[in-house]
Amino acid sequence: MKELKVHLLTGNLPLYVELFEHPPKGIKYLGKPSKGIKEYYSKTNWLKRKLLLYFNKVFKLPRMMYVFTSADLIHSNRGICILNRKPWVIDIDHASAFVGFNHKKWEELRYRKIVKRFLLSKYCKKIMTWSMAAKYSLLNSFPSEKNLKEKIEVVYPATSFYKMRKNKNEKLTLLFVGSLFKEKGGREVLESFNILRKKYDVKLLIKADVPPNLKRKYNYGEIEYFPYRHEILSRTELLKNFFAKADIFVYPTYCDIFGLCLLDALATGLPIVATNVFAVPEIVQDGKGGFLINSPIKWHDETYLWNPTPFSIKRRRIVVNQLVDKLSVLIENSSLRRKMSKYNKKLVIKGKFSIKRRNEKLKEIYLRAVD
């Protein structure tokens, strides 16, 4: 069988960089998630692309892309391909990704009509959702469209396993990483750690943009603060400098639709304590790879569409109490931590988040798309 060329029309997320570097057997990726083969546009095709981006901005349309490519198939994560007359597949982590995660915009019928038209076109061969939750968000956006359901398939993101040694003489360390401090539950992490430090000899690493007033309030020697983007780190450096130094990953998020940092925790074999929002229960297996907290604060309702619960002191306190309970269990039980670590490692070595499992599904989808 000849090599199948697939153009990756994606951003430079680490998962796409790894995909480019570890393609399915028999697949050759074109495109440039961070490095790779650059394809040049003729003046005509360059103009098409610029006009599309211009109309998209002026008329506030859904995310639309055009790429001039010699590939047999296009794999997009940047939007629907409206001018290409080649087969294409798209992967998304939430239905609102089609409008740049502008949930209010996604509630407007006109945007959904445009997206539906191109998703149902003969050129769109498959819609790959990152999770079952993402699949439901799409189905609930188009509840009466049965033909769309046939095109949707769940393909979980994948990651490599990183084997790193931890200094056994260090304190037991908790880790929190989050781009949005409040929305990812950062304050609840600080409040729960303030309780735990009085009972246990523990340490906390926080890689997030913490408000100055909270840094002053929780100015303890057991806490190390790092800005979320204090320096440009490769994924290996991020894992080595933060995840590999931790024993437990704490992530009481309220707003995530997937949470790629959870894959980093799996990749380094960390037990995880997280909230049960959106796709998180599909990543963290409660009681096996960590613990899930029943969060009273969520940004998506039971339809997996935008409907945020207001923050309140009472709701936040419920989360803090659960964090203290679950973290105490893991701090006191080293054998349970090892058992959960082993379980999480298997998920990325040969389980549903392994590169092998993802590549098998992708190859099958690609071949069906060009058949």
Strand partners, 25: none
Domains by residue range for the chain, with CATH: 4-158+354-370 (3.40.50), 172-349 (3.40.50.2000)
CA distances from 133 to 268, 281, 299, 371 (A): 25, 10, 13, 29
What are the structure tokens assigned to 104, written together? 């209010």
- Give the tens place of pLDDT for each residue, 208-258: 999 999 999 999 999 999 998 756 677 888 899 999 999 999 999 999 999
Position 174: which residue type?
A: L
φ, ψ of residue 65 in degrees (nearest 5): -135, 155
pLDDT of 60 reads 66
The mean pLDDT value of the chain amounts to: 90
Residue 90: pLDDT band (50, 70, 90) is very high
- The residues near 24 (Cβ < 8 Å, ≥ 6 apart) are 359, 360, 362, 363, 366
Residue 147 in tokens: 């033909």
Provide mean pLDDT across the span 329-334. Answer: 98
pTM over 0.95: no
The whole-number pLDDT of residue 315 equals 97
- Partnered with residue 202 across adjacent β-strands are 172
Gap between the Cα atoms of 292 and 275, Å rounded? 5
Cβ contact 298:274 at 8 Å:
no
Q: What is the pLDDT of residues 156-180, one digit of tens each?
A: 999 999 887 666 657 999 999 998 9
* Residue 244, H or E segment: none
Residue % of the chain over a pLDDT of 90? 76
pLDDT of residue 77: 93
On the 0-12 / 13-18 / 19+ scale of CB atoms within 10 A, 285 is middle
The whole-angstrom separation of Cα 119 and Cα 121 is 6
DSSP 95: G
**Of 45-54, 169-178, 296-305, where does the model show the most confidence?**
296-305
pLDDT at 41: 41
